[in-house]
Every structure is written in structure tokens, then in C-alpha cells.
Amino acid sequence: MVMEAFQSSLRDALGIRDSLENSARMVERLTSVISARSAALDAELAERDDRRDRTVSGLVAAATLIALPPTLLLAFFGVNGTNVDDHRSILDLRAYGPAYALAWLPFVILVLIGYVLLRRISTRSSSLLPAPDDDALPVPPPRSPSGSRRP
């Protein structure tokens, strides 16, 4: 009985119970801050992925719209072409270089536009969370061994 009384008074004198309660509150606060930051980061990542997916889908749609008319025209004239030169290859760039350049120009422009848009999305969301403020969360002063706060 004397030993229990001594241990109880020793715990009270050292403020172990108060320190444990204070530590538990700090852990709860830290957990809530981490959860809030994690939720904000997940939301930013989801928004960035949605923007990137919309950009890629738009680029694919634009490429399809650009490629469809020439494809249909080439198919029509290729099937119905009667004036084919047997001595000249379709891959002869000296003869057909300007036509190839003209045919590839819209696709090159589309790829450049897509690259610029995707770079803008990735640089805009490179820092997903704001820089931490030094004054954001006040840190309480350490407790004295008796359990009361220091002045």
C-alpha cells in the first residue's frame, strides 16, 4: 500500500498522465493534418489526371478529324487511279516530297500543340501542395517535469 501510494505520488509529481494525454492529443492533431493533406493531394492528382486525359482525348479526336478526309480521298483515287507510272515509286521523295510534307504538316502541328498542352498541365501541377508556412501551426512550449507549462 505504501509502495502504491509512493508510485501514485511519483506519477503525479512527474506529470506522466498529463504528458501522455498531451502526447495523445498531439498525435490526433497530426493524424488529422496528415489526412487533410493526403485528401488535398489525392484531389489535385485526380484533377491533373483528368485534365491530361481530356487533352489526350481531344488530340486523338483532332487527329481523326484531320486524317479522315485525306484517307477517304486517297482510297477513292487509289482504287480508281488509271494513270500510274510504273517507273516511279510512291516513296520517291524527290518527286513526291512536297506532297508528303503537306500531308504531314497538320500532324506535326497537332503533335507540337499536344506537347505544349501536356507540358502546361504538368508544370501547372508540379507543386501540388502549397509550401508550408512557418506560422501555420503553433507548437506548444514543452512541459516542465511537474506537469505545468513553463512561462
Predicted TM-score (pTM) of the model is 0.46
List, in sequence order, every beta strand (DSSP E) within the chain: none
Q: What is the pLDDT of residue 32?
A: 93
- CA–CA separation, 24 and 31 (whole Å): 10
pLDDT digits (tens, 9 = 90+) for 98-148: 777 777 888 888 889 888 988 887 777 665 555 555 555 555 566 565 545
Q: Which whole number is the average pLDDT over 37-63?
A: 90
**Residue 134 DSSP symbol:** T
Q: What is the pLDDT of residue 98?
A: 77
Percent of the chain whose pLDDT exceeds 70:
68
- CA–CA separation, 54 and 60 (whole Å): 10
**Torsions phi, psi of 55, nearest 5?**
-65, -45
- CA–CA separation, 89 and 63 (whole Å): 27
User: 3-class SS at 12?
Assistant: helix
73 pLDDT above the threshold of 60: yes
Q: Say which residue, 52 or 83, is predicted with more confidence.
A: 52
Name residue, grid cell 485525306.
70
Alpha-carbon separation of residue 1 from 14, 16, 30, 62 (angstroms): 20, 20, 40, 86
- CA–CA separation, 61 and 53 (whole Å): 12
pLDDT confidence tier of residue 63, bands split at 50, 70 and 90? confident
Cβ atoms 13, 146 nearer than 8 A: yes
The C-alpha cell that represents 107 in the structure block: 500532324
**What is the longest distance spanned by two Cα atoms in the chain?**
116
Q: What is the pLDDT of residue 83?
A: 56
pLDDT confidence tier of residue 35, bands split at 50, 70 and 90? very high
The C-alpha cell that represents 80 in the structure block: 480508281
